[in-house]
Amino acid sequence: MKIKFLVFGLAALSLSACKAPLNIAQVQTEKNISIAKDLPEDQNFNTVIEPYKEELEGKMNKKISYTAVDLNKQGDNSNLGNLLADYTFEGADEWAKKNGIPGGVDAAVINVGGIRSTIGAGDILTKSIYEVMPFENEVLIVKMKGADLKGLFDYYLTTQKNNPVSHLYIETENGMTVKELVNGKEVEATKEYYIATSDYLAMGGDNMAFFGKGELISTGIKLRDLFLEKFQNNPQVVAPIDIRLNFKNRKNTTNE
């Protein structure tokens, strides 16, 4: 009991110490400085940051790959969108096979809105990837029953949005999906599927509520880091041109 009171006493003393008033020794008012074009540069400050600036620019302007064509995100099957969806699939698939999912992942879905820039034909620099993917999103794998994948296909039927996919084929016509394929095969309702995506979409972003029926598996892989690695490993990018989203008789235009 004595030990108990001693612990309480030390805790009280500690809390008391945390609440001790802060003594302000001296307060001086300073003149506000307006940040404007005519504000003269501080040469001392420039001297301090110059080495870091040069190092950063050197890293960002480093060539990591090359593309013979413009990589854009326009249309239902954009070459940049499909390329990044494939990279997401490949990165998640490799991680899955090393972490207790021997069959790897079955497909990948990313959002076109998360692709913030395009890449022109020519050299691809490190900064190009930062411009394309400025966010810190993580690759997640969602484990889902085949029956619950119906929500994914219905999403594309309803929105007809050009969110890029990999290893999926979705064909719609006259208000219904006429083909729903994963890896070229019909979905089995009782089979478990592993879908790679971003944490943003897995949490229901872009109205993808259907992921809520699945089990989320964290990979710890940042999308941008994965894209950087993939471009670095491919000295010349070959953009995919296959059809994955086929919205026949499209009525709305939700392309970004």
- Separation of alpha carbons 144 and 196, rounded Å: 11
- The arithmetic mean of pLDDT across residues 81-101, rounded, is 98
- Separation of alpha carbons 85 and 160, rounded Å: 17
> Residue holding tokens 């943003």?
200
pLDDT at 8: 44
Q: What are 173's strand-pairing partners?
A: 176
Rounded alpha-carbon distances, angstroms, from residue 110 to 21, 40, 51, 80, 223: 52, 45, 38, 12, 10
Are the C-beta atoms of residues 107 and 167 closer than 8 Å to each other? yes
Task: Give the single-character DSSP code of 237.
Answer: B
> Residue holding tokens 């050299």?
123
Are the C-beta atoms of residues 223 and 139 closer than 8 Å to each other? yes
Q: Which pLDDT tens digit goes with each residue over 103-141? A: 999 999 999 999 999 999 999 999 999 999 999 999 999
- The arithmetic mean of pLDDT across residues 28-53, rounded, is 83
pLDDT at 251: 67
**Chain-wide mean pLDDT for the chain?**
90
pLDDT at 11: 47
- Please state, for a pLDDT cut of 70, what percent of the chain lies above it: 88
Tell which residue, 118, 141, 113, 139, has the closest CA to residue 128: 118
pLDDT at 34: 79
- Separation of alpha carbons 214 and 133, rounded Å: 26
Q: Which residues contact 1 (CB under 8 A, 6 or more apart)?
A: none
E strand or H helix at 108 = strand 107-109
E strand or H helix at 222 = strand 215-222
